[in-house]
Copies of this chain bind each other. A is one copy, B any other.
């Protein structure tokens, strides 16, 4: 076995993704509030597969073709023509097990498609609800990693950076990290670690305000909780499936 550690980079905004070579890396798509948390949850609860789509019209079309569940929100409401929202609480096992979910999100799906277009070797999604699964997988593969934050309309956000920092903190000993963004993210995580929710609130996180306006405090708390949905969403042939079976 080689003694050379694989590299780990952190990309804090989709607008910076082109600076990283994803072609020989596992790319972890991070959209903590709430896309990748909901994806982890639905798959953990037995969803057959999730098809991420970047716009409502396409989501409706594919949902109809596959006779699948369609979901997505715009401005905090279920988007017109879709059936369900973006909350992880909408996808209990009793509802989602064995089903196909066609999910439209903006930032996360756009980033996933960018990573794909840039030739990513492999794509998985990460969130606090499945952080240990993600870290264990990255440790087991021993390949280069790019932690890619979905951000908000390309603006860096606290919650995705926090998750990237948490991953860096857990697995850094096994990677070569020559990436200042990874240091920024880890430093943020270490500061917030005692209470991620309170940190988001105190630091005036822009997304915290966006969601609490819609009374989604419960969603935020869930999305910041580790290992409540230990699945491993892997993107294969246009679909996210659970790599832990």
Contacts and interface: CB of A to CB of B under 8 A. Distances in A.
A109 to B, nearest CB: 20
Nearest to A155: B19
A229 B44 CA distance: 58
A19 B180 contact: no
A37 to B, nearest CB: 18
A209 B180 CA distance: 12
Q: Is the interface of A mostly helix, strand, loop or mixed?
A: helix
A154 interface: yes
A183 interface: yes
Interface string A43-61: 0000000000000000000
A187 B13 CA distance: 18
Interface residues of A, number: 31
B206 A178 contact: yes
Contact of A204 (B155, B156, B177): B177
A153 interface: yes
Contacts of A15: 15-16, 19
Contacts of A183: 158, 188, 203-205
Contact of A156 (B12, B177, B209): B12
Interface of A: 12-13, 15-16, 19, 153-158, 161, 177-181, 183-185, 187-188, 190-192, 203-207, 209
29 contacts: A12-B156, A13-B13, A15-B15, A16-B154, A16-B155, A16-B156, A19-B153, A155-B180, A155-B181, A156-B180, A156-B184, A158-B184, A161-B180, A161-B184, A177-B204, A178-B204, A178-B209, A179-B206, A180-B203, A180-B205, A180-B206, A180-B207, A183-B204, A187-B187, A187-B188, A187-B192, A187-B203, A190-B191, A191-B191
